[in-house]
Amino acid sequence: MRAVIQRVSHASVTVDGEVVGRIGKGFLALIGAAQGDEDADVEYIASKIAGLRIFEDDGGKMNLALADVGGAVLAVSQFTLFGDCRKGRRPSFTGAMEPGQAAERFESVVARLRALGLPVETGRFRAHMDVSLLNDGPVTLLIDSRKDF
């Protein structure tokens, strides 16, 4: 699994003119599942998201996690995180998990984050989503359960 984490002041997802997810301070988490991902990948991604200490403490150091600042997660499924652009100009998505299984893995990450006590909003799986955010910092991090980067 992969995730792109953006520290945000606020973020929202709109589908067909309807806001389906909205948070204040926290993380916008774009999450994609790869062929072969298992429960261990879900656990890795969820625990990393929950434990990231990228909010500033009183000393101005990135030292606080979501729970420390009362933050939330806006989780958005994004298979394009597995787009392979190494050959040609049109990305290949063969590394992405098929949609049915990917939806299950995505929902497992959301459930695990909630079990860890975090408020989580989501987009809508397989829908065309308009994502709006105010990146705080900006701070953007990449997480990969296979540690490819």
pLDDT tens for residues 20-30?
999 999 999 99
**What's residue 84's pLDDT?**
95
Band of residue 82 on the pLDDT scale cut at 50, 70, 90: very high
Q: If you ran DSSP here, which 8-state letter would residue 53 be given?
A: -
Q: Which residue among the candidates 79, 82, 106, 122 is catalytic per the annotation? A: 79
Torsion 126-11-14-72 (CA) sign: positive
Q: Do residues 107 and 32 make contact, with C-beta atoms less than 8 angstroms apart? A: no
* Whether pLDDT at 126 is above 90: yes
Q: Which residue among the candidates 80, 93, 101, 140 is catalytic per the annotation? A: 80
Sequence ranges of the domains in the chain: 2-144
Say whether domain 2-144 belongs to CATH 3.90.76.10.
Answer: no
At 17, list the tokens. Answer: 């003119």
Q: Which residue among the candidates 6, 14, 78, 122 is catalytic per the annotation? A: 78
Helices 99-115 and 39-51 pack at an angle, to 10 degrees, of 40
Q: Residue-wise over 34-62: b if at least 16 C-beta within 10 A, else e?
A: beebeeebbebbbebbbebebbbeeeeee
Integer angstrom CA distances of residue 96 from 33, 68, 100: 6, 33, 11
78 is catalytic: yes
Band of residue 4 on the pLDDT scale cut at 50, 70, 90: very high
Band of residue 83 on the pLDDT scale cut at 50, 70, 90: very high
14 is catalytic: no
Q: Do residues 37 and 97 make contact, with C-beta atoms less than 8 angstroms apart? A: yes
6 is catalytic: no
Band of residue 46 on the pLDDT scale cut at 50, 70, 90: very high
